[in-house]
Amino acid sequence: KNEVEQSPQNLTAQEGEFITINCSYSVGISALHWLQQHPGGGIVSLFMLSSGKKKHGRLIATINIQEKHSSLHITASHPRDSAVYICAVRSNTGNQFYFGTGTSLTVIP
């Protein structure tokens, strides 16, 4: 059983559409991260959340600690948003990070 589950696995959207990616986790956490991995392979951190909601440009991330669930929203999607989005959590009982399998997003012009 994976400690972090993401859905959907793959997502194709038309440019301009509103996109939601979901993440559920089963362990106690100190923080949740949303990461973006482009085709070249490098990973960048988009958000780090321990409660509530954060916004950066067209990206919004929310977390519900009681329900152990987080969502990443992309408003007015653009082809350059095409990437793999990974949800990761840091356990509150050690230094361990757990990663979801990623959501592959393709935005079509």
Partner 1 sequence: DGGITQSPKYLFRKEGQNVTLSCEQNLNHDAMYWYRQDPGQGLRLIYYSQIVNDFQKGDIAEGYSVSREKKESFPLTVTSAQKNPTAFYLCASSIVADEKLFFGSGTQLSVL
Interface residues toward partner 1, by CB under 8 A: 2, 4, 30-31, 33, 35, 40-45, 48, 50, 86, 88, 90, 95-102
Q: Please, what is the minimum distance in Å from the beta carbon of residue 107 to partner 1?
A: 21
Sequence-distant (≥ 6) Cβ neighbours of residue 4 within 8 angstroms: 23, 24, 25, 26, 87, 88, 89, 98, 99, 100
Whole-angstrom distance, CA of residue 101 vs CA of residue 76: 25
Name the residue nearer to partner 1 (CB basis): 31 or 60. Answer: 31
Q: Please, what is the minimum distance in Å from the beta carbon of residue 42 to partner 1?
A: 4
Whole-angstrom distance, CA of residue 10 vs CA of residue 78: 16
Name the residue nearer to partner 1 (CB basis): 57 or 94. Answer: 94
Q: Please, what is the minimum distance in Å from the beta carbon of residue 36 to partner 1?
A: 10
